Amino acid sequence: MSLGSARGSEAVAGDAAGRATYEAAPNIALVKYWGVRDERLGLPYNSSVSVTLDGLRTVTTVAFDASLDRDELLLNGRKAPEKARRSVSALLDRVRARSGLTAHARVRTRNNFPTASGLASSASGFAALAGAATAAAGLELSPRALSKLARFGSGSASRSVFGGFVEWRAGRRPDGRDCYARPLFGPQHWPELRDVVVLIEGAPEKAVRSAVAMQATVRTSPRFAARQRALPGRLAALKRAIAGRDAEALFPLVMEECDDFRDVCETTRPPLDYLTPASRAVLEEVRRVNLEAGRAVAGYTHDAGAHVHVFVLERDAARLRRRLAQVPGVARTLLLRAGPGGRLVRRSA
């Protein structure tokens, strides 16, 4: 059974608790969320739109065990840092409160892509954790309810519950009831669209968690207010471009949004600079490709990390990928499509 097809918003299966494995993919935001208006409820200032990626996966297993005196976390086969374990325990506490369980859990999670370097491992990680933990606890949540739960671990995790093109609605209610992710278009909506993921050599792990960094931007960036005013129009235009599969409209919007996001980061005090010289060279190469072609061949974006995503149509993908691979400091490139949302792999009592 997939949690994505569960009926009803929540059904508690008595005291049944066991073990479950769930997998989810990272997503790359085309319109970013950066800053929350309510930290306790995880409510963002603005809505965002993303693409869930095929081929990159987090697989998480949760097993509740009454013999444990605290939650345990293994990340990619190693004991996770205490800060990460506490973040996982905080989400597990929400699952325990819903299910009536008191047992702690063993959590095993593995990514097939770099962790904490701007490839949205927290999005896929907390979406997979929410799916595995609720299933192991005997809960059945609707996709919307699971999305709401996942955001308490990482805001972008709310989007990784779904596949294809996804919107996370910021909502307006102070209680957050109208804040949730929803699918806009499935993975097959735009078959020709590709994402060239450019992996940068020696990309550092983030020194400051995004949850902390974005609130520093809200407090200190002189550009944050202007960004908030511009976002509704940009979001609407971007959704129209996706709906119409209009690459020449979409790619400039994606770059405009990325540049705006980077601007508020770099005008934060102290500045947030996630890019390396190689990252910046990739952005410049994409601009050069578009200029030489006299059209929008591709559009770049990045999250809070050094790796770069470059969207392009299939007909131009191989040529662009070869060119970007030659930029000094590029370790390798991946060619991805829009992919499916999270799914329950197995569950046992």
Give the per-residue pLDDT at 13. Answer: 36
Q: In terms of CATH architecture, what is 193-336?
A: 2-Layer Sandwich (3.30)
Helix, strand, coil shares, percent, the chain, to 5: 35, 25, 35
Question: DSSP letter at 205?
Answer: P
Please determine whether the domains at 3-188 and 193-336 fall in the same fold group of CATH: no
- Write down the domain spans for the chain: 3-188, 193-336
Reduced 3-state DSSP string for 259-280: HHHHHHHHCCCCCCCCCCHHHH
Topology at the third CATH level for domain 3-188: Ribosomal Protein S5; domain 2 (3.30.230)
Encode the chain (349 residues) as per-residue pLDDT tens digits: 233 333 333 333 334 479 999 999 999 999 999 999 999 999 999 999 999 999 999 999 999 999 999 999 999 999 999 999 999 999 999 999 999 999 999 999 999 887 655 566 899 999 999 999 999 999 999 999 999 999 999 999 999 999 999 999 999 999 999 999 999 999 999 999 999 999 999 988 777 888 899 999 999 999 999 999 999 999 999 999 999 999 999 999 999 999 999 999 999 999 999 999 999 999 999 999 999 999 999 999 999 999 999 999 999 999 999 999 999 999 999 999 999 999 999 998 7
